[in-house]
Amino acid sequence: MLNEKEKSNDYNDWLKNSIKDEYLSYYEHSNFKITKSIGSGHFGKVLCANLKNTDTIFALKSFNTEFSLKDIVNEIKLHKHVDFHQNILRFHGITWMESETFQRSYSLVLQYADSGTLETYLTEHFNELGWNDKHQLAFQLASAVECIHNLDIIHCDLVCNYNININLLSILLYVSSRYNKPLDFTLNSSVITIRL
């Protein structure tokens, strides 16, 4: 049986080998210019960052000490598994960040949602949207959820002010290994909520 340090080394090796084998893209943290904080919570922090010498904007998600290296690897694997759907937030790679606040130095490099969360977007633009626009947003969200369900994943925490985002007038669903479960449990054992 592996002890915690050996398990951590296995996940660290997986990350290093995934970068070396080009399964994951690695970005030097010094190549990012942090422009603003997008949000923070129990998971850690999300920052908006420009890739230097380009006009490309990313979201960098760091993790607090509650998350183990195993959690981070599982999150990456989940992203790689669902990264093909147009309404699921793109995973671009990882970066290594020195941090005094957060024990885990890996950060996910994610697609930046230019219009924020669904809640913010609807609060600011609801009256400007026609019924066809509202229908399209609902259809896009349903399509993303259907996609993950077809992959035997249930999103257990759909929240319009947290993980449902808008980019270029399209829905982007954020999936996280902490809130997505395989379909191997009975629906009575878990309440799936959609809060709007």
Domains detected in the chain: 4-111 (3.30.200.20), 118-195 (1.10.510)
Q: Which pLDDT score, from 0 to 100, does residue 2 have?
A: 55
Q: Which pLDDT score, from 0 to 100, does residue 174 have?
A: 86
Sign for the pseudo-dihedral over CA of 148, 153, 159, 165: negative
| 163 against 141, higher pLDDT | 141
Tell me the pTM: 0.82
Stretch among 18-22, 74-78, 153-157 having the lowest mean pLDDT: 153-157
> Given a cut of 90, is residue 155 above it in pLDDT?
no
Stretch among 71-85, 126-140, 170-184 having the lowest mean pLDDT: 170-184
Q: Give the pLDDT mean for 53-62.
A: 93
Instruction: Grade residue 5 by pLDDT with cuts at 50, 70 and 90.
Output: low
Q: Which pLDDT score, from 0 to 100, does residue 4 have?
A: 60
Spell out a b/e string for 72-88, using b for 16 or more CB atoms within 10 Å of the CB, else e: bbbbbebbeebeebebb
Q: Which pLDDT score, from 0 to 100, does residue 67 have?
A: 78
| 160 against 139, higher pLDDT | 139
Residues making up the binding site? 61
What is the percentage of the chain residues whose pLDDT exceeds 90? 50
Residues making up the binding site for ATP? 61
Q: Which pLDDT score, from 0 to 100, does residue 180 have?
A: 53
Q: Which pLDDT score, from 0 to 100, does residue 6 have?
A: 56
- In tens, the pLDDT along 21-56 reads 999 999 999 999 999 998 877 778 899 999 999 999
- In tens, the pLDDT along 111-122 reads 999 998 899 999
